[in-house]
Amino acid sequence: MILGFYYHSSYIEEKSDISMPSYLGVFINSILNDVDELIIFGHLSNNNNLDKCDYKLKNEKIKFVNIGYKTSSLHRFIFNKKLLKQIKNEVYNCDAILVRGPSPLAPFFYKHFRKTTKIFYLIVGDYSKTYSAYSSISFKQRFIKYFDNIQDSYLTKSISDSTTFVNSETLYNKYRNITKNLIKIRTTTISKNDIIIRDDSFQKNQKWINILYSGRFDINKGLFEILEASKILIQENYKIRVHFVGWEDSSKHSVKKNLIRRIDSLSLKEYVFIHGKKKVGPELFKFYKDCQLFLIPSYFESFPRTIWEAFANSLPVIASEVGSIPYYTSDKENILLIKPRDVISLKNAMVELIENQILRKKLIINGRKCVEDITLEIQSKLLMKNLHKHLD
């Protein structure tokens, strides 16, 4: 089978090498054995995105087809026909195309190519929920919300006649009465060799309690709440260090700068470290191994892959009770769940895991069990098996 793949990430093409973000690279690498050729339809990286392309793939099965530099979401949405017209010959050579979304161009693969090529969708998020947790938003945010809802309606229409994969229970519930072939899978960066076994993330006589957040730098992830809860713990004489590992989507609106300002205002400069983006694999997972607690107190979520990463590295997790997190986890069995935007609940959960070794070890053991059947090897095979099944 010749499989096409599209996602709005940026890529670097150098001779026979293709570089991309590592979370995407490990997924693409995991499906190569099940295709004769993989054609990646993608946007070339500009200077602002070079550091995000940290995973290099060199494989004779892969061909890269350039759609041009990544422009704004609005531009890609409006000029979809012009952008996709230039790749139509390569699309026609594919037996199927797997389109990862949501993405401004995602709906238009079905619109323009459905008569000649089988289109499949892999939906991993929901743009329409971006501002749902806010009680008030700015004029600009209202416009973005309006545009996101338009994109969502186009995507919903496109997947109604397509075989579609979703990676969370919330997305499954959203589309179950709309899409005729809807299949749940788990998107993950974890290989079976990445799972490590340890009884406890706390070590004897350790000087500091290291707290980790990993993922996209976004205030909606509860980053300020992490700082405020940590400040309280430090005032209560807990020896806390906080580590932020991740990246920003936009250089124009820097979340990192806002984080630094909040760190300074809380007098946390000597306790908080911003490490930037790390490559999926040993470079990233070292932070999970070196920390004692993982926090993701988001305002809303589909299901964050970072929870699987923490589970695989035997790291206890505190997360908000939002999105699909409560569907795939169990409070006080493999995770501690809290309400979003609740600094005191977050602080209390941190204290509970710091002080309660029995509970901490229980979460570690049960969390690790959760990832044993959702590795790349298993989930990619499941995706490709269903893709082949519904190809005809």
Rounded-to-integer distance, Cα 353 and Cα 115, Å: 55
Question: In sequence order, what DSSP letters do the residues of 361-390 get, joined into one string?
Answer: HHHHHHHHHHTTTSSHHHHHHHHHHHHHHT
Handedness of CA 202, 206, 209, 212 (dihedral sign): negative
Q: What pLDDT score does 204 carry?
A: 86
Which residues have a Cβ under 8 Å from the Cβ of 170 and sit 6 or more positions away?
126, 302, 303, 323, 324, 327
pLDDT score for 52: 80
Average pLDDT, the chain: 92
For residue 104, is the peptide bond before it cis, meaning its omega torsion is within 30 degrees of 0? no
Say yes or no: domain 2-188+375-389 is CATH 3.20.20.70: no
Tell me the per-residue pLDDT of 186-245, one tens digit each, with 9 for 90 and over. 999 999 999 999 999 998 888 999 999 999 999 999 999 999 999 999 999 999 999 999
DSSP secondary structure letter of residue 132 = T
Confidence of residue 157 (pLDDT cuts 50, 70, 90): very high
Q: What is the pLDDT of residue 50?
A: 65
Q: Determine the CATH number of domain 192-370.
A: 3.40.50.2000
pTM: 0.89
Determine the pLDDT at residue 80.
97
* Res. 343 pLDDT band, cuts 50 70 90: very high
Q: Is residue 134 over pLDDT 60?
A: no
Q: Where in the chain is the domain with CATH 3.40.50.2000?
A: 2-188+375-389, 192-370
